[in-house]
Amino acid sequence: MKCLIIAAGRGTRLEQAGISKPLIPVLGIPIIERIIRAATVAGIREFYVVSGYNRAELRQFLDRVAGKLQIAITHITNEHWEKGNGLSVLVAQDYIAENFLLMMGDHLVDPSLLENLKKYPLSDGEIALAVDRNLNTPLVDMNDVTKVKTADGKVTAIGKDLKEFNGFDTGVFLCSPVIFDALARSISQDKDDSLSGGIRNLAAEGKVRVYDVEDTFWIDIDDQNGLKKAENALIQQVTGKFNDGPVSRYINRPLSLRLSRRLAKFTISPNQISGLSFLFSMLAAGLFSLGGYMSLLTGGFLAQVASIIDGCDGEIARLKCLESPFGGWFDAVLDRYADAFMLLGLTWHAYLLYSKPAVFLIGFMAIIGSFMVSYTADKYDGRMQHSAKGHIRIGRDIRVFLIFLGSLLNQVFWTLTVVATVMNIETVRRIYVCRTEAGNRPVKK
């Protein structure tokens, strides 16, 4: 499916943030790039972008984005960009002859909204508007949002000045070519060159279907307040990660999110952050192996800092639309190496203190238990995600925090013992849980 993005306007209320509104960064990524990246996640590879004001700079940027993402972007010019936004849609008439997604150049949306909307069934001559029925959403500027009134699954009225309404226009449409005829009629008959004017024409004929976005994220960025709301909302999007352990949720995550918010403004990549976390872990392992309390304490502090930074790579990946299967796998590989070296360093530190071979057995069990907890995490998390039972997730965050506490209290041997005991017991418990739940599922015939 093709996607038409209208980005021809000037955006005077955001000029203090940048001369070209689509290029204003939100947490380090320009608005228009965020829109395109969301659409590519939804499986769209062919884009048509209508530009007008400051179009030369915008087109140069979009050409770089097209090369980076390996997508097709066709440029369309709206010479009358200072007029209604309906004209920006109408100039695409000669380029698109089938159903297409229509998006605004200043609306951020979750990829799932686009993925579901493009599958929405349309009859001939219909379009669908993504409508938010949550009238209490804090992300909406009531003085500027386009309001809609719906009945029986169809839009009956639309406009910013509606007195009676039961939803908001999210700025995302699934259109058929009928939209072009409706806009032409609105301009010629009603002297209304806005997109809403064309929608009103179709709504009067009962041809505007409603797609309910429910609680899916979207936001219109019109001014500085909207820009700030968008950044805060995107930060909130990454805080509800299911498989966070208690240390991550209550200690690491609040700190890593603050750090990620600042890192997002720079060009550092998630994989580079993973490498930085690994470097801190290796420094901690080296300090552990030196012996002495100050080396142990400094190593423990570095290990905990590495654990906090380790949360930033995934946060930056989600905040900057840079998630990739390789990135997650690469981070997991580095974590396993980091765990092994830190526990090995602690084992050597304990051996320097006690000179007993049993120390190596405890250290070996701590390493094995840590690896097995990590190895079983994916299947276990998948089981518990659909379970109504509350649970405390035992994972790397707790393991590193125990190392930090043990270093602070100068109790290396007991730290290794606790890590070995907790991690191996947790592995056995997970095996039992997964085996029990698998046994309770009905056998497919």
Secondary structure (H, E, C), the chain: CEEEEEECCCCHHHCCCCCCHHHCEECCEEHHHHHHHHHHHCCCCEEEEEEECEHHHHHHHHHHHHHHHCCEEEEEECCCCCCCCHHHHHCCCCCCCCCEEEEECCEEECHHHHHHHCCCCCCCCCEEEEEECCCCCCCCCCCCCCEEEEECCEEEEEECCCCCCCEEEEEEEEECCHHHHHHHHHHHHCCCCCHHHHHHHHHHCCCEEEEECCCCCEEECCCHHHHHHHHHHHHHHCCCCCCCCHHHHHHHHHHHHHHHHHHCCCCCCHHHHHHHHHHHHHHHHHHHHHCCHHHHHHHHHHHHHHHHHHHHHHHHHHHCCCCCHHHHHHHHHHHHHHHHHHHHHHHHHHHHHHCCCHHHHHHHHHHHHHHHHHHHHHHHHHHHCCCCCCCCCCCHHHHHHHHHHHHHCCCHHHHHHHHHHHHHHHHHHHHHHHHHHHHHCCCCC
pLDDT at 429 over 80: yes
pLDDT tens-digit map of 167-189: 999 999 999 999 999 999 999 99
Euclidean distance between CA atoms 249 and 202, whole angstroms? 48
Taking residue 214's Cβ as centre, other Cβ atoms within 10 Å add up to: 10
pLDDT tens-digit map of 326-354: 999 999 999 999 999 999 999 999 999 99
What the block records as the tokens of 41 is 């996640």
Euclidean distance between CA atoms 368 and 420, whole angstroms? 8
The answer to whether residues 216 and 112 touch, using CB atoms and an 8 Å cutoff, is: yes
User: Quick one: which of 120, 224, 98 has its CA closest to 172?
Assistant: 120
Backbone torsions φ then ψ of 395, nearest 5 degrees: -155, -160
What the block records as the tokens of 20 is 């070209």
Boundary of a domain, candidates 230, 258, 285? 230
Does residue 372 share a domain with residue 265?
A: yes
* Arithmetic mean of pLDDT, 381-405: 79
Taking residue 15's Cβ as centre, other Cβ atoms within 10 Å add up to: 12
Does residue 249 share a domain with residue 215?
A: no
Does residue 67 share a domain with residue 27?
A: yes
Domain, as residue range, for 102:
2-230
Does residue 307 share a domain with residue 190?
A: no
Residue 348 belongs to a domain: yes
b vs e for 398-422, b when ≥16 Cβ sit within 10 Å of the residue's Cβ?
bbbbbbbebbeeeebbebbbbbbeb
Residue 445 belongs to a domain: no
Taking residue 118's Cβ as centre, other Cβ atoms within 10 Å add up to: 18
User: Quick one: which of 193, 4, 208 has its CA closest to 99?
Assistant: 4
Does residue 203 share a domain with residue 301?
A: no
Collapsing DSSP to helix, strand or coil, 10 comes out as coil
**CA dist 366 → 101, 107, 304, 359 (Å):** 53, 49, 18, 11
Per the model's pLDDT, the better-predicted residue between 323 and 145 turns out to be 145
Does residue 193 share a domain with residue 284?
A: no
Residue 235 belongs to a domain: no
Containing 102, the helix (H) or strand (E) segment is: strand 100-104
Does residue 244 share a domain with residue 193?
A: no
Residue 147 belongs to a domain: yes
pLDDT at 397 over 80: yes
Does residue 297 share a domain with residue 163?
A: no
Residue 298 belongs to a domain: yes
**pLDDT given at position 388:** 47
Query: Exposure of 436 by Cβ count < 10 A (0-12 exposed, 13-18 middle, 19+ buried)?
Result: exposed
pLDDT at 402 over 80: yes
| pLDDT band (50, 70, 90) for residue 357 | very high
**pLDDT given at position 445:** 45
Backbone torsions φ then ψ of 409, nearest 5 degrees: -90, 0
Taking residue 61's Cβ as centre, other Cβ atoms within 10 Å add up to: 16
In the chain, the number of structural domains is: 2
The answer to pTM > 0.85 is no
| pLDDT band (50, 70, 90) for residue 436 | confident
Backbone torsions φ then ψ of 335, nearest 5 degrees: -60, -40
Beta bridge partners of 30: 25
Does residue 272 share a domain with residue 419?
A: yes
Residue 137 belongs to a domain: yes
pLDDT at 442 over 70: no
**pLDDT given at position 241:** 54
CATH code for the domain in which residue 138 is found? 3.90.550.10
Pairing type for strands 46-51 and 72-77 reads parallel
Boundary of a domain, candidates 200, 230, 260? 230
What the block records as the tokens of 225 is 């307040």
Per the model's pLDDT, the better-predicted residue between 75 and 143 turns out to be 75
Does residue 224 share a domain with residue 289?
A: no
Residue 433 belongs to a domain: yes
Residue 141 belongs to a domain: yes
Does residue 261 share a domain with residue 123?
A: no
Boundary of a domain, candidates 230, 249, 266? 230
The answer to whether residues 269 and 255 touch, using CB atoms and an 8 Å cutoff, is: no
Report the range of poorest mean pLDDT among 10-19, 25-34, 299-308.
Answer: 10-19
> What's the whole-number average pLDDT of the chain?
92
CATH code for the domain in which residue 327 is found? 1.20.120.1760
* Arithmetic mean of pLDDT, 309-335: 91
Does residue 47 share a domain with residue 127?
A: yes
The answer to whether residues 212 and 249 touch, using CB atoms and an 8 Å cutoff, is: no
Containing 63, the helix (H) or strand (E) segment is: helix 55-69
